[in-house]
Amino acid sequence: MKLLSENKAFGGTHLRYSHTSTTTNCEMTFAIFLPPFASKEKPVPVLYWLSGLTCNDQNFMQKAGAMKLASELGMAIVAPDTSPRGEGVPDDAEGAYDFGLGAGFYVDAIQAPWDEHYNMYSYITEELPPLIEGEFPVTKEKAISGHSMGGHGALIIGMRNPNKYVSVSAFSPIANPSDCPWGEKALGNYLGSDKASWKDYDASELMASQTHYIPMLVEQGTKDEFLQEQLKPQSLVHAAQRSETQLTLNMHEGYDHSYFFIASFIEEHLEFHAGHMGLI
């Protein structure tokens, strides 16, 4: 790993690293916040945060205002990049923001040329946690959260791996990517035209298929400009009703899709995860 930057924050430390990834076959970047007094003798649990379209490892760390409470709770936060990057990593031919670089959608691609690098699902679930647990004073106990595309990623990863995460939450998630323009474009290109293969990466499809016992919390603003066309939280609610899954969805009047919304409610999410980690 290569240390890119180090900053003191709220008594803890914010660090950025790059490393060579075997799952994405390129250099990847992640940020980690370590609370005060985290040590090999007193390791701390981890919240993984997955960001949305066009974002990288820094958006959440700089805009969400999460580090103060994480410091007080004794919780580490890891924020990976949202896609592979670098020379030789393919991008959308027209440079669109909703596919390619910055838009990995947390899937393992099976279509060329994307399958060589776009394996963000395996990167998040299989490669990054052992790296974090081996290099930093953290426990194996972890939760996962995210925003928009990252909210989609957090939900599918949490539901597909309930034994790996104690809780999952999301802000404004793409709840039914099989039935929205962003998701249809991404899943169609990364996975191909057979929509049966999309179901493993669709939170509403996963939730409808069986009861999920991992605690789930979702926030959504009513003034979100992407609410009706792209996000479709009602699909998640209907799926939870069909499978009798416990899901908490909080609708917030007047809030949009921005980090103003995330910053307004991030403390409730940190406390939600901290409760399942046994920190409070």
Q: Which residues are catalytic?
A: 148, 224, 257
Pairing of the two strands 2-9 and 12-21: antiparallel
Q: Strand (E) positions, 158-246?
A: 168-171, 216-221
Minimal CA–CA distance to 269: which of 244, 245, 252?
252
Tokens read off for 189: 């290109």
User: Please, are residues 44 and 137 in contact by the beta-carbon 8 Å criterion?
Assistant: yes
Alpha-carbon dihedral 43, 45, 51, 56, rounded to 10 degrees: 0
Q: Could you give the CA distance from residue 59 to residue 79 in angstroms, rounded to a whole number?
A: 9
Q: Could you give the CA distance from residue 171 to residue 251 in angstroms, rounded to a whole number?
A: 10
Three-state secondary-structure class, residue 238: helix
Minimal CA–CA distance to 207: which of 258, 266, 152, 164?
152
